[in-house]
Amino acid sequence: MVCEKCEKKLGRVITPDPWKSGARNTVESGGRKVGENKALTAKKGRFNPYTSKFQECRICRTKVHQVGSHYCQACAYKKGICAMCGKKILDTKNYRQSST
């Protein structure tokens, strides 16, 4: 659960989307070229455990695997906030949510 501003910061996937209209990872939008192995050439999205470590959630202290996020998806959904910046997205006042 991320806000519109943080959607630009999300990582890209290796395979192109089958629906090309609006896809961010096609050849036209600067994505995968013909004959290029994206897993080898895209060093920005890959995780290297020797140079960096996973972030911890600021609420529950579990490991967050999404790059650039400060909150895990469970805590972001329960609080109604963006997982990356913490901005309030959703009013969860009348929601009936479990504690797990």
Domain ranges across the chain: 1-6+52-92
Task: State how far the Cα of 54 lies from the Cα of 57, in Å rounded to an integer.
Answer: 10
| Residue 36, C-beta contacts closer than 8 angstroms, at least 6 positions apart | none
| Residue 47, C-beta contacts closer than 8 angstroms, at least 6 positions apart | 54, 67
pTM: 0.60
Phi, psi of 81 (to 5 degrees): -120, 165
Task: State how far the Cα of 2 lies from the Cα of 94, in Å rounded to an integer.
Answer: 21
Question: pLDDT tens digits for the chain (100 residues)?
Answer: 788 888 888 766 666 556 666 666 666 666 666 677 767 766 665 666 677 788 899 999 999 988 789 999 999 989 999 999 999 998 888 888 775 5
**pLDDT tens-digit series, residues 13-22:** 666 556 666 6
| Residue 24, C-beta contacts closer than 8 angstroms, at least 6 positions apart | 12, 17, 31
